[in-house]
Chains A and B, each alone.
Chain A
Amino acid sequence: MRQLEKRGLLGRAAVLAAASVVLAAPAMAASHIAPNCKGCHQADEETIWGTIVPGSQTDSSLEVSTGGHVWKVRYDRESTLEGFTSARDLRDEKAVMVAFTPAGDGWVHAEAISYKPSYHFHTMDHVVTISEVAQILEKSPEEGHYMIVDARGYDNFIEGHLPNAINIPYYRLLEFKDRLPADKRTKIIAYCRGFT
């Protein structure tokens, strides 16, 4: 939680800093990406990466700050909402990605909105050892109620993989998410190259 607050504060500081830049140079094109998002993501003409402006969430719209600019985003049943049903489910200042088409009147229309999962998730709390996996594999996936997911690319997968493994390349999760089991209680075991 403390980490989140820190991020929030940093985000606000960045907004203030960027806002003063905008005042000094009003002709600058609207920013598509917040400084905090730049480490891992790249924006383009029709994608923005930023944080939700507190209190802006409604059932059909939200505002996204990219530091120097606040984007007014409309969404409707045509929009793909990943992991939520209304922007009101999302907390203030949550980091989001919006793929949009311009809608005029200073609004953009969201084709897709996805949010970044929280930093509470610590991978190390969810590890499984090789011997544990070997034990799980003694039963069939149906019997043991599990799925082994190879998160590497197709060429690595066909060369060699664990028994019963399903291939879902990590960077194409959205494309291949239907390969995940219907039952959300199924134990999912993912692996890739490992820490080297």
Chain B
Amino acid sequence: MSPHFTRVVKEVYGYEDVRYMVAGHKTWQATINPYYTEPEFLRMAQQHGLAHVLVDLRPAARAAAGHIAGAVNFPAETDLVAAAKALDAALEEAGIKKNARIIYYGDDDRVTRAFHDTMHANSWNNGYILNGGMAAWRAKGYPVDHGPLAAKPVYEGTTVLPGAMSMSEFEKIALHTPPDTVIIDTRSPAEWKKTGVVPGALLIPIDTLARRLDEVPRDKNIVVHCAAGNRALQVWRMLIDRGWDPAKVRWVDGKPHKSKKHILKKM
């Protein structure tokens, strides 16, 4: 969607030099470039039980004096390469896969970035730098643990994001929508026409939602879908922010038009 975005920023708002990075964020991350996660996400991951390895890169004493719950300690400020080697070995020993979500933090984002780059070069390809490190975490007022840190990394928990619904679950609901459930298709009219829609679904393009919120029931289960999950996730966020019950709203993490069950029917 950036193509439209760049055009509007240039022509409507008058910025002289507007560029579009076509390759997108996934390719950026895959090509060993630094990638930052926010404290808000890590906090959500803790509360939701999202599987991740959290690595504190500060000296043991400083980490013990205040760290983020669940972190393992691999001090990297004095010998970064040795620390990366030690973590690499510990992850291998724990049987953790190379695509596991790993979040690094410390007191100096430059050290964290160098560490991230070293790990990435060693094929740990789903690493994140906690933006702003320990200071940013504290600034948010999030809880800080004290005492010795765990030495062995563990990778436990769910890999499903909050509110997400798998395609297999959605297929069942799309074929037999229960009376207490409303499906919202947040794609554009052109997409509805091209691929068809789930019969009975409420059709609200994402850019129209703000004006049509009163059509979205509050007392029913809501399932939002789009073409791949991005817009559905954004609509999920909009509804939660506007007071819909988080227990009743789900977003579909998948591509309904690719379903082998043919859940979309011609309009």
Contacts and interface: CB of A to CB of B under 8 A. Distances in A.
Contacts of A38: 189
Contacts of B3: 123
B260 interface: no
B206 to A, nearest CB: 5
Contacts of A169: 234
15 contacts: A41-B205, A42-B208, A83-B14, A121-B6, A123-B20, A126-B20, A130-B28, A130-B31, A133-B28, A154-B237, A155-B233, A159-B37, A173-B5, A188-B15, A194-B22
Given A150-B25, A193-B24, A186 B11 contact: no
Interface string B10-21: 111111111111
B176 interface: no
Interface of B: 1-29, 31, 33-38, 40-41, 44, 128, 161, 188-190, 205-208, 211-212, 228, 230-231, 233-234, 236-237
A169 B23 CA distance: 18
| Majority secondary structure, B binding face | helix
Given A160-B36, A188-B15, A117 B189 contact: no
Contacts of B44: 158
Contacts of A82: 12
B14 A159 contact: no
A162 B24 CA distance: 10
A27 interface: no
Interface residues of A, number: 56
Interface in A140-178: 149-163, 165, 169-171, 173, 177
Given A151-B1, A190-B9, A194-B24, A160 B234 contact: no
Contacts of A185: 15-17
A127 interface: yes
Contact of A155 (B7, B12, B18, B237): B237
Interface string A113-127: 010011001010011
Contacts of B15: 180, 184-186, 188
Contacts of A196: 24, 228
A40 interface: yes
B19 A192 contact: no
